Structure 1
């Protein structure tokens, strides 16, 4: 019995057209084999793995460079700050470039293209003879990171079906934190030049692997290439799935949406509503203060009497990997909104505790042996440092569970095909622009608001995140991309 025969039988049993549509999807998905889909996802997330390695690289490399015997490469604190933050500038530019490329040359070729500045950037760093070569290498890897952070979520969301889209989409952030952790671990054993050489390996494998992977069916159909789209779906869904059925549904949605982005499209509810949600998700992700927490992590380890701060950063990285992995496993069961709310509450509480910690310990006390006097009596500061260490663990775990992976996942799900490149570029630019501002001017914020005030501000933003999630963020679990977009246009209930 083919899918049309089963459709007739189900319609006779239940006259509801909506029930019939859901049943057709289930019938179709029961015939799908996910092996090659997972393979394509694995190859594509080598990009986020490289991106994470770029982010983590500065942590072990900066101490080596600040102590370099070569005066041409020795960094002072201001230069080290630029070495770390220039990546975010390159990534912001890369987000804009990626938004243009995904519409002009496609998702697959854009993903292959972004591997080149990864490799060249790490090669420049590994062979650096002066400060400007270090900056150029970091800017190139940042450019590649920006393109990657846009194209990989789009590529995965457009090739995955609704039963597994949350899980494979969450693998983007999982591989980012795996790359960060990998940089921490290898940085314990390797000098900065050889660490850069290691960073060039994943993007090299990505270029080779993507040669054997398909373009996304939605992009092909948006360009009128139906035969290639059916071949891509047959590769991704397996030989038993009647891919013509899915192809027809995607093609119908592409015909309704039209081809190409126009500025006038911003007046449509199906465009400006998801764009506003996507931009605010990216803004709030950085407003949680995750970069500030990571920035202050080494100081907390020092105050807590961790003799090996490098080991402490590895523990932080492993915590991120573990909880992001949990998020990936449960994403398609728990749903996006539930995890975002749990994540926001956990971060709000831990950031508030951070503020209390700094309120009690700042004010002229600098050594770990100083005393904290007040209504709590006289307590050694080291005890409070362990409280801060626990709060940091809760914050990082909470972020990894929700606000780390989900904004990128939702960004890849909510935009119509014709504006996906433009809208994703705006979201990526928002994210990386805010990341640069927070990374570069975090110290100024501390001077203005004090440490306690700064972390209480972050706690407030986390609380606002929860309200924003409950009121505005749609639940996309178990929905096709077309159903999600219909919700914003007001043509069908989500």
Structure 2
């Protein structure tokens, strides 16, 4: 495949791959590297949407993430009935994806560092596929639990790798918008699980769960590896070729090449990063910001709501609980305020507890709780759901990203496990009290963001990381 581009008088119009700032003809070695990128480079160049195409392909990973999170809500009654499970056994099933994700989170940083962002997504896809098949053929709780753990492991790797890959390939002026695709895709996966759960049996729904990763694996062959990872690994020719493909063949990448090379040169003087190194301010501050945001994201109770939405609506007195659950999945793509919406749900449950069932306001409380939950997931999707992953991938220096990213992702999934394990118990204790707790956490998140989270808009990853020095 040829990548030669000439004007009418035969001059080569491609911009330089190095940083001389002059026009020149690519060396045979560089042409060879682009040939190794193969059809991906040709497709990307022909459509002039390089970064967007890459993001859309890796977005299949978060869709798988969302499908896993949403699966337990529409299937709860049928799985309990078919396999004879108790409520506590099903709660274990729902939370086991978080346990698997914790293991995946621990491994995610090292996997992504040693075999690259694309390689780690391929590895994550395999246990996801096996896990869904195990659930679809489950005859008892053992296969059900094993499948859920395998899914969780894959999701744990995906939840770290996809935001990092998107941040590392995106131009600084597009990074925020493209980073939000991660949460949008999670939302889409949840919505698909809710929607399909209205029409198909839980075993068929599990088989459908293999589709995102089944499509993702071949799709990864059509996109380039992260140029920043290639630079860190010392593959400079591959790094420049990947960056040129991502930015387009008519773009001068010299300044960005210099910035990335300078960052890599300063962060690889010490090749081994230990936990003790994280005590240095340039490391612990961005790490604490990342961990704080990801933990507060889960303490808002979002996974308790999404995993057991049907039960919450049933407790609120709504009859069409599956339809209401699907409505939550659809509405996640809009906007509102999370703290106020959680407060509305808490008040609705408190009032429902003091009103008699004959009161005309009793049914109104169920509607108010639905409105509050819808508003909650709206604001979650646009704010605390998407932004912490984007910020985490932006602020962690490249030399500690593997270790620190694993720690932050582990904290997120550990908190998620606590929330999903306790949600049913808390709701049995007091629905109003449960949402009051979530409201307080959501309000504290506002304070945390105002006081400690830095602004990253309009800055390169290298500029953000240099600021912590």
TM bucket by the smaller chain?
Answer: 0.7 to 0.9
In the TM superposition, residue 297 of structure 1 has moved relative to its aligned partner by 3.6
- For the 8 Å contact 1:217–1:232, the answer to whether it is kept is yes
Q: Please give the per-residue CA displacement for 1:257-312, whole angstroms capped at 9, x wherever unaligned.
A: 22442334213222111000001001111121223434564355346664422111
- For the 8 Å contact 1:415–1:423, the answer to whether it is kept is yes
- Alignment correspondent of 1:360: 351
Q: Distance in 2 between matches of 1:301 and 1:262?
A: 47
Q: Please give the per-residue CA displacement for 1:116-161, whole angstroms capped at 9, x wherever unaligned.
A: 0111111111222322111101110011000100111111111111
- Alignment correspondent of 2:405: 424
- For the 8 Å contact 1:87–1:142, the answer to whether it is kept is yes
- Alignment correspondent of 1:451: 431
- Alignment correspondent of 2:296: 284
3-state DSSP of counterpart to 1:214: coil
3-state DSSP of counterpart to 1:261: coil
Q: Distance in 1 between matches of 2:87 and 2:347?
A: 28
The equivalent position to 2:444 in structure 1, one of 451, 457, 464, is 464
- Alignment correspondent of 2:320: 308
Q: Distance in 2 between matches of 1:273 and 1:304?
A: 42
3-state DSSP of counterpart to 2:389: helix
- Alignment correspondent of 1:112: 122
Q: Does 1:200 align with 2:210?
A: yes
- Alignment correspondent of 1:14: none
- For the 8 Å contact 1:217–1:230, the answer to whether it is kept is yes
Q: Check 1:185–1:443 CA distance in 2 against 1; reply closer, same or farther (3 A cut).
A: closer
Which sections of structure 2, spanning at least 5 residues, go unmatched?
1-12, 23-46
- Alignment correspondent of 2:263: 253
3-state DSSP of counterpart to 1:394: helix
The equivalent position to 1:44 in structure 2, one of 53, 58, 65, is 58
3-state DSSP of counterpart to 2:400: helix
Q: Does 1:415 align with 2:383?
A: no
In the TM superposition, residue 447 of structure 1 has moved relative to its aligned partner by 6.4
- For the 8 Å contact 2:94–2:307, the answer to whether it is kept is no
- Alignment correspondent of 2:277: 265
Size of the aligned set, in residue pairs, is: 429
Q: Distance in 1 between matches of 2:53 and 2:146?
A: 33
- Alignment correspondent of 2:367: 386
Q: Does 1:82 align with 2:92?
A: yes
Q: Check 1:347–1:161 CA distance in 2 against 1; reply closer, same or farther (3 A cut).
A: same
- For the 8 Å contact 1:300–1:385, the answer to whether it is kept is no
Which sections of structure 1, spanning at least 5 residues, go unmatched?
8-32, 327-342, 372-378, 490-494
Q: Distance in 1 between matches of 2:156 and 2:261?
A: 30
The equivalent position to 1:243 in structure 2, one of 227, 249, 253, is 253
Q: Distance in 2 between matches of 1:88 and 1:296?
A: 14
Q: Does 1:274 align with 2:286?
A: yes
- Alignment correspondent of 1:369: 357
Q: Distance in 1 between matches of 2:303 and 2:112?
A: 28
The equivalent position to 1:221 in structure 2, one of 231, 235, 240, is 231
Q: Distance in 2 between matches of 1:146 and 1:206?
A: 16
- Alignment correspondent of 2:156: 146
In the TM superposition, residue 440 of structure 1 has moved relative to its aligned partner by 0.7
The equivalent position to 1:155 in structure 2, one of 145, 161, 165, is 165
- Alignment correspondent of 2:75: 61
Q: Check 1:171–1:108 CA distance in 2 against 1; reply closer, same or farther (3 A cut).
A: same
Q: Distance in 1 between matches of 2:311 and 2:132?
A: 28
Q: Distance in 2 between matches of 1:223 and 1:308?
A: 54
CA RMSD of aligned residues (A): 2.4
Q: Distance in 2 between matches of 1:263 and 1:66?
A: 44
The equivalent position to 1:171 in structure 2, one of 181, 185, 197, is 181
Q: Check 1:443–1:63 CA distance in 2 against 1; reply closer, same or farther (3 A cut).
A: closer
- Alignment correspondent of 1:351: 342
The equivalent position to 1:438 in structure 2, one of 398, 415, 419, is 419
Q: Distance in 1 between matches of 2:451 and 2:267?
A: 27
- For the 8 Å contact 2:127–2:150, the answer to whether it is kept is yes
In the TM superposition, residue 252 of structure 1 has moved relative to its aligned partner by 0.7
Q: Please give the per-residue CA displacement for 1:451-474, whole angstroms capped at 9, x wherever unaligned.
A: 333322222211111111111111
Q: Does 1:485 align with 2:442?
A: no
- Alignment correspondent of 2:376: 395
Q: Which moved more, 1:243-252 or 1:129-138?
A: 243-252
